[in-house]
Amino acid sequence: MPSLRDYRDRIASVKSTRKITSAMKMVAASKLKRAQDAAVASQPYAKAMAGMISRVADGVHGDAGPKLLVGTGSDQRHLLVVISSDRGLCGGFNGNLVRYTRNEVRRLRTEGKQVQIVCVGRKARDVLKRDFAPLIIETITGLGGKKRLGFAEAQKVSDLVLDLFVREQFDICSLVYNQFVSVLTQTPHSQQLIPFVVAANENKSVDASPYSFEPEEDVILAEILPKNISVQIFRALLDSGAGEQAARMTAMDNATRNAGDMIKNLSIKYNRARQAYITKELIEIISGAEAV
């Protein structure tokens, strides 16, 4: 049975942990509002740009468009750009993403595809390398530690992807990240970046588009498709950043509550042990007095 000192030390230790988790919760809550506003603000722009490219691509027929639109003609080699966090203590945020990525890799390999992985964030790299170390060709870290995530960070990732595409290292590139749904919900999501996928409700039709473009559609697409990749990656980074702060705030709130419950249980056990110790001392005193 633990001594009274053991109970006191354990209670003091849990109280110190509760102070830390409570402080981390408040820090995450302060960062969440700014990250959430940035993620929400980026979505209309990203959707509008994808819609604009779909309208322009409506006038491109056959395989005359840029390779970023029509692809390489094969779907054998896949590149997965996995966006996670650099730090932990955020609940199942990274675990759910890694599980989703594992399933995607196994599905593609079962279909006979070749898979390569680019990790944006330290946590995904640390876990995925246990099973798929030969598949990880590049890791980019340090993006999540910045006070305010800028477009330059997304440009760094997109430059890497475009360089690999120019060197014909893959046929299809997909972005895997945690989509920010709400403060309580972050859902692993996959989005194909290369080749560009035209929205289902904007399929190509010769007579459907009321727009005329100058210069030609393929010239416009060659200019804006690389920018679209940067925009979509930036949106994913902002979504992931907001989801990370929301997950950390929720996890630290749960940890603080659990620490409080543990302190109550330990206090009850301490009081019981203390009462038993006092009772034992009284019995020994009374027994000694009666013996005299």
Band of the pLDDT at 206, cuts 50, 70, 90?
A: very low
The pLDDT value recorded for residue 211 is 62
Residue 218: is its pLDDT beyond 60? yes
Report the distance separating Cα 151 and Cα 171, nearest Å.
25
Question: Is 173 a known active-site residue?
Answer: no
Architecture per CATH, domain 42-246, reads as 3-Layer(aba) Sandwich (3.40)
Q: Which whole-number Å values give the CA distances from 103 to 106, 109, 193, 224, in the listed order? A: 5, 10, 19, 32
Partners of 82 in the β-ladder: 119, 176
Band of the pLDDT at 203, cuts 50, 70, 90?
A: very low
3-state secondary structure labels for all residues of the chain? CCCHHHHHHHHHHHHHHHHHHHHHHHHHHHHHHHHHHHHHHHHHHHHHHHHHHHHHHCCCCCCCCCHHHHCCCCCCEEEEEEECCCCCCCCCHHHHHHHHHHHHHHHHHHCCCEEEEEEECHHHHHHHHHHHHHHEEEEECCCCCCCCCCHHHHHHHHHHHHHHHHCCCCCEEEEEEEEECCCCCEEEEEEEEECCCCCHHHCCCCCCCCCCCCCCHHHHHHHHHHHHHHHHHHHHHHHHHHHHHHHHHHHHHHHHHHHHHHHHHHHHHHHHHHHHHHHHHHHHHHHHHHHC
The pLDDT value recorded for residue 20 is 93
Task: Specify the range with the lowest mean pLDDT, choosing from 166-180, 214-228, 243-257.
Answer: 214-228
- 62 vs 150 pLDDT, higher one: 150
CB 80 within 8 A of CB 104: yes
Band of the pLDDT at 22, cuts 50, 70, 90?
A: very high
Active-site entry in 81, 90, 98, 127: 90
Residue 205: is its pLDDT beyond 50? no
The pLDDT value recorded for residue 204 is 46
Partners of 77 in the β-ladder: 114
Residue 54: is its pLDDT beyond 70? yes
The pLDDT value recorded for residue 202 is 43
Task: Determine the average pLDDT of the residues in 186-212.
Answer: 70
The pLDDT value recorded for residue 59 is 66
The pLDDT value recorded for residue 209 is 54
Report the distance separating Cα 253 and Cα 227, nearest Å.
39
Query: Within 10 A of 183 (CB to CB), how many other CB atoms are there?
Result: 16
pLDDT, tens digit, 9 for 90 and up, residues 94-151: 999 999 999 999 999 999 999 999 999 899 899 998 889 999 998 888 876 556 788 8
Please state the domain extents for the chain.
4-23+251-291, 42-246
Strand-pair category, 77-83 with 172-180: parallel
Considering the four listed CATH numbers 3.20.20.70, 1.10.287.80, 3.40.50.12780, 3.30.470.20, the one that applies to the domain covering 4-23+251-291 is 1.10.287.80
Q: Name the residue type at position 119.
A: C
Comparing CA positions, the residue from 146, 147, 77 lying closest to residue 117 is: 77
Report the distance separating Cα 30 and Cα 35, nearest Å.
9
Task: Determine the average pLDDT of the residues in 152-166.
Answer: 90
Residue 74: is its pLDDT beyond 60? yes
pLDDT, tens digit, 9 for 90 and up, residues 223-252: 888 898 999 999 999 999 899 999 999 999
Tokens (6 digits) for 230: 């940067």
Residue 212: is its pLDDT beyond 90? no
Band of the pLDDT at 42, cuts 50, 70, 90?
A: confident
Comparing CA positions, the residue from 108, 104, 285 lying closest to residue 177 is: 104
